[in-house]
Each structure stands twice: as structure tokens, then as C-alpha cells.
Structure 1
């Protein structure tokens, strides 16, 4: 009945009728309704409704509540115990179907659980800080930048703490600390930051030795980790001891080798960070007091950025929000600050600052200049999407096989309904079976995780992400809840579908009731194979792209070239020592290794013009570099040998000639260029042939490039080795290295291997997608196996009669396979164009992409067909070869 405006709130009236004692209900309800109508007339409907609700709540007391029935809970327990027993019996009775369901769900659940472990581990970062809920990292952004930057201008902390009460505390970490610490002829390589005295007031790192209130106050003081304290001092107390530090500009992220070694002087160890496995987005071996920077400024060993608001690439800023302030107050302060700076300073167009919560950094949004490598949240969204697709496919298997078994369970359903079972009882029965199946799958999935974990932690990319994938109690509780959810999700449709059967029709159990068309089951099976075909196509395509990058033509000769980090040594000494080694063809030097992921740039225009600056790539090399890598000079001459004027000459590539508006390389020779940094002008001495100096995944074309002879920036020597005994020559190079530098270990990489290693991440993606494709096709084939097994079982009498009448094995196999072959055909018809279209979308955005046509899709189709036909044929051929006498005798 439709509720009128004169009626009290219906939900609370029902609640009252449910809990009130039957003997009191009519009397109390009459008084409640009468009182409600009086209030309706005097106070209005809104107030009357609220007072009615209040009255109902007050009436909910022991003297009015209906008496509890002690036997009810016992009956409930007995009922659920019965559900459990029947569920176990059905699982054991239909062993093949149960195995397919349990194994399929376990495989899919293990993938989901693996992602949960990854996400849980990432969420555990930065949880040890006492003020974690009030700590924010400040991000900066500039116009046209692809992502915000984790670094900020150097003067920012002072401006925040001085002018904005929303900030209780602020600390700053400045990059650039990375080199060799020496104590009693013991040398240890350390990387870290300049940190101010407020570092330990913001973050929760504990000191095993030293006073954290003053540890970073005095100039030329440093705090080191316990692991590095043991390396330098052994069992001695490090506090108060002095080390000599030579900085090489080693980066905090990655394996970069820095540049020229610069002695920074002596530093006193004032603290040792406790040897606790801190999980933090910050990784460091040493913290040098920020007050030490003034000495380095004065000695010109460090760039002075104290008043530079335009340079925002070297410092990280963290603030503690005042206890009575909100994140909105901090954002308002940052907005006000940027507005004031843009008003007073040129060159800050589009510049803005924003706040990022400390606990939201890992994982979080995609940010540039991160202090450590990590997976952004969007990667987890993508992984969740893939896992959800596989999980849904496994649930479809359960739904498919359960509805297919409706005929075999028809008598059970009919008997239960005739003996008084309600539909809700049957729904609970079937849901209990699906939940039980999911819990069994959870046990198997946990075992699968044990084998999958080493494969994930062994991926190349994990050396940067540091996953250990160890679970804890909350994670295991999530697993159990997830299994219950999967059981409900997989079983809800079969439960509703099977429980709606009418008793009379169910008890007839006629063969004619079996539909000739598969309907929903066909749609579910087709969906699974469409998904499988898509994953197979994607995995093959990414593998082809990986191979394409490995075989890419860079335009220079990397064969038999060994790149050796200088580790702060003078490149002349190292080059001269290597040149004396038999088997060495040539030796050159450079600041970076081209095409391996590290890139430097600058802005250039023709001097004396008002043209816009063009963005150039920059290589710092000696005069031997182009010849060593087989890069030809098309106009002019090579860089001059090192002297006082060598740095004023540059080589440019053919792309630079076009970028600056020239058509003939000879016209470029002699031109004077204006570098955007405001330094001295550069004269073009020659033009080289274009070669790939960035990774092929970075862009389609070859950009403008300038090469300059600047020895102070050299970090590598490039040694060309003659064909022959490569390992023997490398051993001789190591001996020569030890004569020049007996302290640092000899490190080297063949250039070919370095170019290939750039795409190890690609190989990881191929591995992950290939594994997911394998899971998807296994689950789909398991479902098909179950369907064909069931079809063969239900039609065994028909097969026996046909064989008695003379039908051949092949004909019967084709008859049983017809429906499933149609499923494969429809899946290919839908999945092939879909796989091509979707994969082509992302491929078009990839630089230097591989050719992608229907040939790749055709290979995927063949793989799908082979697996599908193998699955179908294994059961239909077995059924067709059965003995008709035994079949008909057992059926009778």
C-alpha cells in the first residue's frame, strides 16, 4: 500500500512490529499512531516523524521485546551444519567439477592475493614516524611539465616557517652528497643528503649513538647509518671520529657514477642511525649538516642556491602541519606564497606548489625527481584491472559449471522443496557450497603464492622496488574476507537459478527439459576465450616490441666496447693505463653512456639573434669518442684535443642543423651559438652524422645534439677491444685499473649489454602479461574441459545408441564437439578484431613501435585454437571410443 502523508515512518513502524511482544503490539501501536497524528497537526510532519522515531527507540526495552526462543539458535546451528555436510558431499561427489572450480578460483585468487601483498607492503612505508598524519611533502610544478616534481626551490623552507602559522616545523633535504668517506685508509662509498637540524624533529628515525637534538647543527658534521658505521669503524664508537669525504656527485637514485672527485674536507661523525629496517621512501647512507654548505659555497665547491626561486631540482621540503590546522590551510599558504613570488620574480610563469601527505607518497601519484624508485598508484590500478579480469573469468567458470549441473541436481532440489524447504533454504545451501569451494581455493592459492613469490621478487625491476611480499595478520584477514566475497560472487547466480526450479518439473528430470541452446553458458564461455585471446595477443605484441628494441639500429658501433666508470679518477691516467693493454684498439671518455637512459640537455640558439632557444641534448666527450664509436663527421672537423680553448668548440649533429634553420651541414660550421645558461658562446667546429643518443622508447626521431670536450664532467672511459680473447683483455684491464686505483673495485659493462639492459623492464612486463595470459587460458580451458566432460556424461546413452546403429568414432566426436567448436569460432570472431583494435590504441602512442598487423593476431588465434581443440578433443574422443554395450547396460 502506498504510504500517505498522514502515516508515520514505515521502516521504524516495521521495526516496532518486529521486536514488540505480540500480546502488546496492537495496544501500543494504536497509542503510537494516535500520538503521531496529534503531533502531525500541532508540530508538522518533519518534527512528528523524528518524535515517532524517538518513541520507537525508547520502547526497545526488555519488558516489551518479544521473548527469545532458545531453540532457534540451536536450529540455526543444526541448519548450517547440514549445509556444510551436504556441501562437502557434493564437492566429493562431483570430483572433476570440484577440482576445476577449486583450481580455477585458486589460480585467480593467488594473482589477486599477490597484488594485495604488493600493495600492503607499499602502504607500510613511512608508518614509523610519530607525526606521520601531520607530515606533508611539498611538490612543485611548472608550466607544460608532464608531472609535478618532488623537489622544490631552496629558499622555500625559510619562507614557510617564517610567514605561515599553518606550518609547525619544516625540514629540507638537499641532493648532491655522494662520494668516498675515508678513515684510517679504509674507504666506503656513501650516498645521502644535506639535512638541517630539524630533520629529527620531523621524522621518526632513532639514533643508536649521539644526540639527535644537536647531531646536525654544527658545520662539517654528519650522521651515518649503523651499517656504514660498521664498515668504516668496525666495533669502535663512531661518534666524535673524523672522516675525510671526497664528493663525486653520486646520485641518490640508480647506479650513476657521478663526476669529478672533489675533496670536501674533514667531517665529524655526530650520530649513528639505529640499525632498524625502516621502511621509508627516503634512502640514504649519510646525512651531512646543511650548515656545512656555506663552507662549500665559499670554496666554490657547491652552487649557491640560497636565493634562487627559479631552480627547483635539488631540494626536498617536508613540513609538519600545526595541530590546529588542516591540509586546506597548508594549501592556502602555498597558494599565497607562489602568488607573492610570481608577482616579484620573473621566470616563474605557471609555477605552483602543492602538498602531498607523507603516507600518500608510497604508493601515490606519478611524480618526477623522486628520491627512490617506486610504482605509482596507476600501476596498481592497472594490475587490479588485469587481476579482476582473471578473477571474473574464474567466477564465470563456477557459474557455468554449476548451472550446467542443474539437470543432475534436479531431483535433489525437487525432494527438498516437496519436504518443505523454502527457496531461501536452497539459496543458502548453494551459497554455502560456493563459499566452501572458495575457502578450499584460498588454501590452494596460499600454497601457490609460496611458489609465485620468488618469481616476483626475482624480477629485474625488483632491485629498485625491493618487494619482499611478507604477509601479516591484517593481510591474512583480508585474504579470508576476499575468499568469502569470491564465494558469494561466484555462487549467487547459480544459487538463484537452481533454487527457482518448480518441484514437479524438477522431479520429472526429463531429457527433453535440457535446452538445445546453451544460452547464458555459451555467452560465459565465449567471454572467457575472448579475454584469453586478448591477453595472448598483448603478450606476443609486447614481446615483439621488446625484440624490436633489442635489435634497434643506433647509428654507432657498440660492439666490443667496454664502458668503465672512472670513480673519481683522472681520465688521462686511466686512459693511458688502458691504452697500454694488448688488445685495446682505442680509448675515449664521456660524461654519460648514450642511449642507456641517462640524458642531459641545454638550450641553444644562434648568437646575436632573437630566435627562440632550441632544446638540445648534450654529451661531454673527448676528441676520441666519435672515432671510437664509429660516428662519422659529415662537415668540418673533430673536436680539438684538450686545452684551454677546447671547451669553446662543439660538434652538432644533422638534426641540430635542421633545427637551427640550415639545410647544408657545411653552412653550420663556424656558426657561433648562444647557450641558454648564459655562459660563454660556443663555436661549431664540425657536424656529425645523426645517431641515437636517447633510448628508442623516448621518442621517434633523433633530436638536436651538441658534443663538447669538458674533462671535468667525464665519468666513464670507453674502451674498444679487438675481436678475440675478450675475457682475457678484460682481466688485463682490471690489472691496469688496480695500478691506477687500488682502492675502488674495478667495474665494467659491455656496451651491448648496457643497451639490452635498458629494456629489462620491458621483459618484466612481457613476463607478467605472459603469466596472466597463461592463467586466463588455463582457466578458460578448464571451464571448457568441465563443459565437454559434462556433455559427454549426459549424452553417453545417445552415444551408445548411435554406435550400435553404426556411427563412427570421428562422427560422434564431431557431434559432441559441435557446440564447443561454435564457442571457439564465435570467440575468435569477436576477440580477434577486438584484440587488434585495443592493442593498436596503446601501440600508436609508443615511439619506434614494431609493425602490428593481423599476423600477430593470427598467431594468437592458432595458439587459442590449439589449446581449445586439445581440450575438447581429449574428452569427446574418449567418449566416442567408449564401449556401447557397457554404456547401455550401466544406463539401464
Structure 2
């Protein structure tokens, strides 16, 4: 029986090459899309699960609402972790990270810039699973000025992995002993460190300041410890350790602090939730989003459904060709179950052939998908058993689902009617097929509308007035590598001698990527700091050329001046800072803050610093447009971190050539690193750009598959109405009238799809836009355009079949009448 099924299935496959090919390709595209998205979802859900105790590791996060400024941090104070470990036996192990960005590594007289530096407690290897290749994890980071490095860095700088005992020179003269080499961290980790420097190296790790949050703190809790129950301990921490410092610095209790509308909460965040459920300030890198996992999973299901619907429509469109075959088989004794089995076997055969083609498509497109998704995704068909079983299950379910309706319909034909060529299609069947097409195009319109809204939002972001001009600004990084401040000044001055360089500024702080989390508390001078008048504010060190170079706008007062010595104790506030400090006529007034001990980051409460407000700058977006503008103070202090140059409409390669030449003349052994401000700004919305690219791809696939379905239904309609079209042609109908006749029905289906899909698309995209503080208006034009695009593609698809039917010789359809 099975042999006969296969024989007939293959014979029909080769007999109807065009329709079989369309069926296989349609299913293959749907399966390939589903498999690729399944690989993506599997990759996203696997983050941080390579740690042996990943289900018991938690990050301590801070949620501070102070002076009207709410911030959620991935970090805590330095003493938080050690205190929790000391007080609570439920904490099996604790470790902290203190990120430090990039450093220069000196090797054989040359300097190389590397990122991925972090200070870490020696217990890092007790909490996380970081396989060691050389050295002993228990002793690797116990002493000051020791470092453990990744295998990748060991081979890069020493040509081998066994480098324990070697010396690594950082920042020209800071020698670190290598005490361990570990495997390069997998790409499914929410952090990637190439250099783990012992926490004992920095004094800051031992300070007792609870009001500063610079450390990432992780806890390994004991078995059966509920994180919700453990979080109750933070109330004791606040009362015992944080409240005394509130009293010391602000003269208020924790109760008074909270009664004034302020909050300081600490929570535990599961390690496995960080990648997809966290976007806190101070993340090691931009995380993924569970929302996009849901969206793409839904798209995978919908596109696979579209492919199944196509199979149904194309199979039923060919039913007339096989109706007599069914009649003959039934006349010879075949029962309905045998015929249904035959058609299901053909469907399963097509599904497995489609799987083979789909795997080819996956291998062909996976590098492209990985690139636009920003992930390193690999095919794991044979090494990942659940994935392989899942794919096999999808193929079988797809084959059965796609073949069930055609099998039920074809096997129900009555032999007398079909042999007389008078079989009539049941009314419900036609409505069902039309409903499938409406479903297909509703999904397509939703996807296209979503793509257009995402594109509009990205255009809005790129074109919005963000308070400074980001175009034609190049930032030369690590200017301190030149040496003295005079060397940096001469570098700036010599570059400015070129006519196409308009201005330059020296600072460590630039919008977007160029600022760091260095909030300090400020209050109006002459008043004691209280919860009502103290504002947590960003502190940036800039020179007098900063505002004109970035083309910011002074709305009150003036800019800094190099001719005014007192400007070294001056500040320019943004509008938000003035509002939060509740200052009327701020120019000429002063603000105060506690002095900082720069060695360990502690606060010196015995000394305050005051700064005169000389100007107010219009608010500019230095964070993502998802966030409101935070309070900011620009201070006229010396900083030699980076140098930014604004250039005219000149050849960029010429600008870079001048910069590199001047750099090399002063620091021939130092790497020349630069970045463009507009590109840094665009990187903030990398996730949205990736989603836009993916949505574009899936829109094309959805439309392609939907058009295949429409092709099937129009083919069926043309076949069913062949005699009618023949009569009309005999009576003088031209191609245009037949085209209108054939298209009218399908245009009505597209209209129904439009009416169904627009409310859904509106609600979904309105919800997506809520994550942006600054967002585009969601007008009807986007949805009308998505409908018109779909309509145009549908007309083109139907016209092909309609013209083909109109050009057919009427004799062929009427010869038996």
C-alpha cells in the first residue's frame, strides 16, 4: 500500500512540475523562515545558561527616585556585596565587577587599544563558570596588580595560551602579572571580558560609601532560597547602612526621605533574565528584548501558516484535474480513507522535499540573517536533538495540516458526478478558500504597516532637533596618549590650521557614547542639602569651545571664556537642571556639592564646592530618545580624554588624513582611534534598525507567500470559469473586460483584509511606540499606504492569471459542449 502511495505521489509530482515546484518552494520558504527564527529564538533563550548555577545567580539592581530624577541602575555601591555575604548565610558566594572600558596595552614598544577591561573580585570564578586553561582560579585574582586574560588575548599578544607568570603592561607603565588564562567567553553571555584585573588593585573597592553606585554586584544564593524572600533583607540594609549616611550628608532619615516622594529600592534580577528582560542604565552592552522574540516567533508561525494555506489553495485549484481520477478510483472500490491517505502521503512527501529545499535556503541565508540580527547564529541540526526533533515535528504537522483540507475535499467527490464532469463545488469550500486569502493578506498588511511605522520612527529620530548638530563631527579618542596637556593643545591647534576644520573642543564627555555615569548631588548655595532641594545631576568637564563646536544654544547668560579665570569655578546648566533645582533667574546664582576623594571615590562631607551659574544651555538629548532629558551641568574643567573637530563639507578621507598625520607626529607608537558623532548616535538605535531590516525581509516573504496563495486561488477561479470566459470571448468580450471580471472578486477580498488588519496594526504599533519618549505621530497615511502596496501587488498577481485565461482559445474550453 505504502509503495503504491509513493509511486502515485512521485508520478503526480513529475506530471505537474510547475504546480509541484510552486508548492515545494512555497512550503520551503515558510519552513526556512520558521527554522531560521527558531534558531534565533533558541540562541536568545540560551543566554547565560552555560553557567552551571545559572538558575541561582542574581544581580543586585538599584532603583532610585530622588529629586524628581528616576533612574534604574544595573549597579550598586561598593560595600553592598561584601555586606550581604557577611550578614546572610543564604549567600553562598558574591562577586563584583567595576568596568573601566578600554586601556592601552604596551607590547614591544607599541601601544594597542583594547576594550573589555574590568576589575573583579577573586570570587568571580566561584559565582560564574569561566573555564580555566592555565593557572588556578582560587588564587588568580587574590593579589593586587594581577590579571587573568582570555585565551584570545593571550594568543594575540604572546603567540601562545600558556602565559601565566608573564607581565602585561597597561597604560605605558602599569605592570600586571598574568595569573590565569581562561577560555574566551561565549557569545551567549551578557558580559564579555578579555581582561579580569584583581579588585584588590583599586582602593575604591574598599570604600564605605553607600550613596554611590559604581559596582555590578552578583550573588550566588543557596538552594531553595526564594529571591522574593531574600529581597526583604534590603530594608535592613537601608535602615542600618544607608540611613546613617543620609543623616550625615542630608540631615534626614530614610522615612523622611521616602515621605518626600523619594525612593531607594534594591532588587534581585535573575541572571537568565538579564539578556531579554533588562535595559537598565549601566548595562555592560545593549541587551536583547523578549518583545522581539515574541514578535518574530509570531511571524514564524504566521508565515508557516501562509505557506500551508498556499498548499491548500494550490491543491484545490488543481482538484478538477484529479476529479476523474478520484471517480475512477472510487468506482474501482477505493474507499474514502484510502483516497485521503493517498493525498496526505503526497502532502507529506512534498513537505519533506520542501524541508530539504528549506535547509538549503537556511544555510544560504543564515549568514545574512545573523548579520542583520547582530547575532552569531549557527545551524545545529545534528548536534541539537530538541531542535532536530522540533524541525521534524514541524514538517510532519505542516504536511498533515496542509494536506488535510485537500484530502478531505477530494476524497468526498461523488464518482457519478465527476465522471459526468458535473461535480459542483460545495459553497462552504469556496468561502473557506476566500477566508484563507483574507487571512493571508491581513497578516501581510499588518507586517507592512509595522515596517512603515518603524521606518517613520527611525526617520523621526534621525531628523529631530536633538539640541546639537551631530553631523560632520569627528572625535579623536584617547587624546591623553599624546602625553602632556600641552601636547594635546598643540595637536588641536595644528589641526585647526586647515581651512576645512571649523572648530575643536577637548573633553572626555560627548553626547551618546561619550558620556559616563558620574551623577553627583547638587543644591542651591546658601542652603543645607535636603530631599527637597537636592538634585542628582550629570557632571561633565568641558572647555569654552564645547558649546560652539557642537552648535548648542545658550538660552540664558553666556558661554565660558578663556579670558575669565573665575570661570574655572563656573557652571552652565541645562534647562532640566534649572527646573529641578527650582531656580528663578539662575544666572549669577551658585550651586554646591560635596567634595570627592578621587583616590577611593568617597565623599568628603567636611568640604563643599560652589560653582557660579554663568549660563543655561537648551536641553539636548545625550541619552536615547526613549528617555527624558536628565539634569546636566557643564563645568569649565581641564579634560584631555578626547578631541572633537567640526569640519566643513570636505572629503572625509582628507580630514582623517590630516588628523592621523598630526597624531603620528606626536604619538607615533600610539594607535589612532576616531569615531563620528552621528554614527555613535545611530548606534543607540541599532536594535530598531535591525528590527527594520528583519521586518523588511519578512514583509517580502509574507507578500511572496501571500501572492502564491492568490496565484492558487486565481488559477482555481480561472479553471472553474473557463467555459464562462470562453462564452464571453465568443460574444465579443475583450481582455480588459475579462481582467475586470476576474479581478473584482479578489479586490473585494483585499478590501476585507484591509478593514480587518488596520485596527490590529494600529494597536500593535501604538504599543511599540510607547517605549519612546519622543515619537512620531501615528497617522492613517501609513496604513493606507500599506493597503495600497498590498493591493498593487495583488492586482499584478491576479492580472497574470486573468490575462492568461483571456488569451486562451475558447475552443479549448467549449469543444465538449
1:650 lines up with 2:574 in the alignment: no
**Given the alignment, which residue of 626, 630, 643 partners 2:551?**
630
How far did 1:283 drift? Answer: 1.3
Task: Find the counterpart in structure 2 of residue 690 from structure 1.
Answer: 618
Q: Is the 8 A contact 1:152 1:317 kept in 2?
A: no
Q: Which SS does the other structure have where 1:119 is aligned?
A: helix
Shift in alpha-carbon separation, 1:603–1:264, aligned structure 2, 3 A: farther
- The CA distance in 1 between the partners of 2:514 and 2:764, in whole Å, is 28
Task: Find the counterpart in structure 2 of residue 215 from structure 1.
Answer: 140
**Given the alignment, which residue of 238, 247, 253 partners 1:342?**
238
Q: Which SS does the other structure have where 2:625 is aligned?
A: helix
1:813 lines up with 2:714 in the alignment: no
1:319 lines up with 2:220 in the alignment: yes
1:524-569, Cα deviation, whole Å (9 max, x unpaired): 1112112212222221222222223222233434454321113533
- Deviation larger for 158-167 or 809-818: 158-167
Q: Is the 8 A contact 1:147 1:366 kept in 2?
A: no
1:111 lines up with 2:24 in the alignment: no
Give the alignment of 1:726-737 within 5 angstroms: 726-737=652-663
Q: Is the 8 A contact 1:181 1:188 kept in 2?
A: yes
- The CA distance in 2 between the partners of 1:844 and 1:589, in whole Å, is 37
1:152-189, Cα deviation, whole Å (9 max, x unpaired): 44334444544544444444433337423335534344
Q: Is the 8 A contact 1:216 1:289 kept in 2?
A: yes
Q: Is the 8 A contact 1:135 1:202 kept in 2?
A: no
**Given the alignment, which residue of 786, 794, 799 partners 2:712?**
786
The higher relative CO (CA closer than 8 Å, separation ≥ 6) is in 2
Q: Which SS does the other structure have where 1:354 is aligned?
A: strand
Task: Find the counterpart in structure 2 of residue 473 from structure 1.
Answer: 383
How far did 1:643 drift? Answer: 9.5
- The CA distance in 2 between the partners of 1:537 and 1:124, in whole Å, is 31
Shift in alpha-carbon separation, 1:642–1:326, aligned structure 2, 3 A: farther
- The CA distance in 2 between the partners of 1:823 and 1:659, in whole Å, is 56
Q: Is the 8 A contact 1:571 1:717 kept in 2?
A: no
How far did 1:881 drift? Answer: 1.5
Task: Find the counterpart in structure 2 of residue 532 from structure 1.
Answer: 444
1:794-835, Cα deviation, whole Å (9 max, x unpaired): 322332233223333322332233322222232234334554
Give the alignment of 1:39-438 within 5 angstroms: 79-126=1-48, 129=51, 131-132=52-53, 135-142=56-63, 150-176=74-100, 178-190=102-114, 191-234=116-159, 238-246=163-171, 265-274=174-183, 280-293=189-202, 297=203, 303-319=204-220, 321=222, 325-328=223-226, 332=229, 334-335=230-231, 337-345=233-241, 346=243, 351-354=265-268, 356=270, 369-417=282-330, 419-438=332-351
Q: Is the 8 A contact 1:363 1:377 kept in 2?
A: yes
Shift in alpha-carbon separation, 1:599–1:856, aligned structure 2, 3 A: farther
1:303-325, Cα deviation, whole Å (9 max, x unpaired): 3554344544412324264xxx3
Give the alignment of 1:508-519 within 5 angstroms: 509-513=421-425, 515=427, 518-519=430-431
**Given the alignment, which residue of 346, 367, 371 partners 1:458?**
371
Q: Is the 8 A contact 1:100 1:783 kept in 2?
A: no
Task: Find the counterpart in structure 2 of residue 594 from structure 1.
Answer: 511
- The CA distance in 2 between the partners of 1:659 and 1:155, in whole Å, is 30
1:705 lines up with 2:645 in the alignment: no
Give the alignment of 1:656-805 within 5 angstroms: 656-661=577-582, 667-675=585-593, 680-695=608-623, 697-699=625-627, 704-712=631-639, 714-724=640-650, 726-805=652-731
Q: Which SS does the other structure have where 1:720 is aligned?
A: strand
1:607 lines up with 2:535 in the alignment: no
State how many pairs are aligned. 774
1:863 lines up with 2:775 in the alignment: no
1:694-728, Cα deviation, whole Å (9 max, x unpaired): 2562347x55432112324x532122335545533
- The CA distance in 1 between the partners of 2:563 and 2:339, in whole Å, is 89
**Given the alignment, which residue of 459, 462, 486 partners 1:550?**
462
Shift in alpha-carbon separation, 1:825–1:206, aligned structure 2, 3 A: closer
How far did 1:737 drift? Answer: 0.9
- The CA distance in 2 between the partners of 1:367 and 1:724, in whole Å, is 39
Q: Which SS does the other structure have where 2:430 is aligned?
A: coil
- Deviation larger for 765-774 or 307-316: 307-316
Q: Which SS does the other structure have where 1:518 is aligned?
A: helix
1:810-867, Cα deviation, whole Å (9 max, x unpaired): 2233223332222223223433455445434534653333344333333223222221
Task: Find the counterpart in structure 1 of residue 249 from structure 2.
Answer: none
1:575 lines up with 2:489 in the alignment: yes
- Deviation larger for 536-545 or 183-192: 183-192
Shift in alpha-carbon separation, 1:771–1:707, aligned structure 2, 3 A: same
Q: Is the 8 A contact 2:587 2:614 kept in 1?
A: yes
- Deviation larger for 576-585 or 188-197: 188-197
Bigger-Rg structure (1/2): 1
- The CA distance in 2 between the partners of 1:532 and 1:226, in whole Å, is 47
Q: Is the 8 A contact 1:220 1:266 kept in 2?
A: yes
What is the TM-score normalised by the length of structure 1? 0.78
- Deviation larger for 586-595 or 82-91: 82-91
CA RMSD between the two structures: 3.5
Q: Which SS does the other structure have where 1:580 is aligned?
A: helix
